[in-house]
Structure 1
Amino acid sequence: MFNIILLLLFILLTFLILVFIAPISYRIIFDYAEGNKFYKIKLYFLGIKVYTFEDKSGKIEVEKSKKEKIKDKVDEAKRDEVKNGNRFFSIISFIRENDLKKYLGEAWILIKSILSQVLPRDYQISLKVGFEDPYHTGNLAAFYYSLDGLIRRDRIQLDLIWNREVIAAQGYLYGRFMLASICFYLIRFIRKTGLYKELFKKIRGKFKNGYDSKRSRNNV
């Protein structure tokens, strides 16, 4: 019996190590155009498909009066204003409570390291974009062509529409990553920034507060 348990533990440990060090491949296919939405995500482990997620929705026609459209825009603007205000105060509070200088450099290294692992190795994206105001379309065109040398225009193609508002995209992304590398970068970031101390304090504080509240209820 003991030998069987040891064998099961060995198999489990081997499987966990394999999951961490073996590359996980992903394939993403998408197609979006004016209400039509389709995308599919597939994950492969050791060449075997282990996960598939697919979402598809047909085109929905909804006609609204001008008053309804104006009301929707006003309500959306109010919600965005409240949301942005809350985010702003949260950011200010975080800046006051923490010394960001020691985080920014390591955060940038972390982002670059993780992106180097998860960015697609093969991709093809076709975009069709247009705005009601040709001025904005022109700005987008200038920005797109300013990226020459940073992106491959044969891989990311942009079709500009000048006379109406259009947002459409289709393409695919193929890539792979390893969990071991990502976990290593995260652990290095937490260690170098000292975040593990803050996390430990918060976890210990929550346990202490929970214990004190439970003890006070028992005394009552």
Structure 2
Amino acid sequence: MDWRQVAEEIGDALNRPPTVAAQSGSVSDALSPPLRALYATCDGADLPIGSLYPQRLALERSEAAPFHPDWVVCGDDGRGTFWLCAREPEDGLWFTTWDHDAGVEIDGAVWPDLAGLLRGVFADLLSIGRGEAAFVIEDVPAAARMDVVRELGTLVSAGSAERLRMLKALPVEVPSDDAQVAYDAVRRLRPAGVRCHLRIDWL
């Protein structure tokens, strides 16, 4: 799957659509193939879970330690974790992340493409988003009402009648101790036409 599709899926789930910058010129030969492909189509992006740097910034930052000479730092999550692309692949893998504050060296590549990195970063965010997430319901088509009532059963201990009453005053926010459970509810309900999203307070 293309990285833009992954970014859009995450943006839909969080109600924060990505903004992709237009391609702005020639692509540097100093970049590895996955990044040349990226910058041939755009010049970075603001994503709901971080940002992809413009080509110029990626090249500049990659000249400094600890990235040079093996890595190009192509983005970050805005909280101290950088997104890296190897200059040479390791068993077909190109991308990894590195936490600036963790006090550890950069490990090997983990994902074969940028889409995999974005999925991995989002999965990590969901795993640590406990107690700081909410399932937000904005609009429910009549035909999907009972689907929503069933999904609410995974998030609240109330009976079905009380869950149905919750839908009478939309929008409604349902706090969740497990961001992954709330995200799964969003994924199941959106194809049924339910306008809903996941909110992670610190994101």
TM-score band by shorter chain is under 0.3
* Larger relative contact order, structure 1 or 2 (CA cutoff 8 Å, min sep 6): 1
- Which one has the bigger helix percentage? 1
| TM-score relative to the length of structure 1 | 0.21
User: Which is higher, the Rg of structure 1 or of structure 2?
Assistant: 1
